[in-house]
Amino acid sequence: MQLYNKLSAKERAELIEKAGKDRLTLSFYQYAKIANPKAFRDQLFIAWNALDVLGRIYVAQEGINGQLSLPADRFNEFKAHLDTIEFLKGIRLNIAIEQDNKSFLKLKVKVRHKIVADGLNDDTFDVRNKGIHVGAEKFNELIEDDKTVLVDMRNHYESEIGHFKNAVTPDVDTFRESLDIIEDDLKDYKEDKNLVMYCTGGIRCEKASAYFKHKGFKNVYQLEGGIIEYTRQVNEKQLENKFIGKNFVFDERRAEKISDDVIACCHQCGNPADIHTNCANDACHLLFIQCDACKAEMDNCCSTACKEVNALPYEEQKELRKGQGNSNDIFKKGRADHLPYKKDLRNIFEVLKKKEA
């Protein structure tokens, strides 16, 4: 019985091309009590592998977080399978704004301690006491209110290419970093401001809203379904779109265009650009923003040193990597010291003061 992916990304890409079928990219999450995550994980892999599902799915005792793609003509079968699982019956599926048949090239269903790495001890607060969920229309009203503080719950490299107008965008590399920083920087606003949060698909706000209510914030709201669902509702109901730029996504597409605005710049030359790439040198693999001109000049590398390594024969590159881990720069997500136009640090409190001035 097959319980793990056996094909390489290259082999899978060839099969997708050969099949000639359109695929749907989608995401969903659900907090629920799962007694045996390993057994549940195996059941999902068997069922979804048979449906040609590809993607990255995390299962934990606290629930499931899935980002995946599947043949469009098998969507109803997939949905029917979800409906056989009690806590997933009728769940909202966030269909991607922009589709790409190769958004995922492997099926990975992994058991994790948490479905999102939040660093929280859930026993210390009531995770069910969440903030108020609002749709796109109410969200637009709230963020125009002078009593609202709008906070982006994503990481700096996500908000760098796109965010809501007037949003506070914490300068963090991980979700767990943001929680205490936001609580501390916004402590003076707990009583008299609306704390309105958003993220990609809603999962980070789901836990954060309960945490901030526990920390004393009185009026806590979260964007239902995140940026993905917001965009769908804006298009369907012909509402004003208050998101500028692109929505960063964690698959091969890297981003979905929500508006035509380009709000970021190439980390190498400073010209307007909002396309993330990974350094072609496998020993580096740094995620950064690169324009087409720099991509051509640097052979998709982040530095001259990486360009030189990447030009070596493959076997020589492998030999150089022996016993070496990736550079620590990989964790800096576009803020490596050798990138002259990396994102500047920003402090939440300074942004708020500037907004109120």
Active-site residue set: 199
Task: Give bridge partners of residue 30 from the DSSP assignment.
Answer: 64
Are residues 131 and 52 in contact, defined by beta-carbon separation less than 8 angstroms? no
DSSP, res 283: T
Residues sharing a CB contact under 8 Å with residue 24, sequence separation 6 or more, in sequence order? 69, 70, 71, 72, 75, 95, 96, 99
Task: Report residue 143: phi and psi, to 5°.
Answer: -75, -10
Q: Which two tokens stand for residue 182?
A: 């936001």
Q: DSSP E strands: which ranges in the chain?
A: 23-31, 54-60, 63-71, 94-95, 107-111, 132-134, 148-152, 162-164, 194-198, 219-223, 243-248, 255-257, 276-278, 287-289
Q: Is 277 helix (H, G, I), strand (E, B) or coil?
A: strand
User: How many whole angstroms from its chain centre is CA 303?
Assistant: 26
Distance of CA 319 to CAs 315, 324, 338, Å?
A: 6, 10, 25
Q: Exposed, middle or buried: residue 332 (CB in 10 Å: 0-12, 13-18, 19+)?
A: middle
Write the single-letter amino acid at 215.
K
Q: Beta 107-111 vs 54-60: how paired, if at all?
A: parallel
Q: What is the C-alpha to C-alpha distance for residues 50 and 175, in angstroms, rounded to an integer? A: 34
Q: What is the C-alpha to C-alpha distance for residues 174 and 154, in angstroms, rounded to an integer? A: 8
Q: CA torsion, points 312, 314, 320, 325, in degrees to nearest 10?
A: 120
Q: What is the C-alpha to C-alpha distance for residues 199 and 228, in angstroms, rounded to an integer? A: 9
Q: Is 276 helix (H, G, I), strand (E, B) or coil?
A: strand
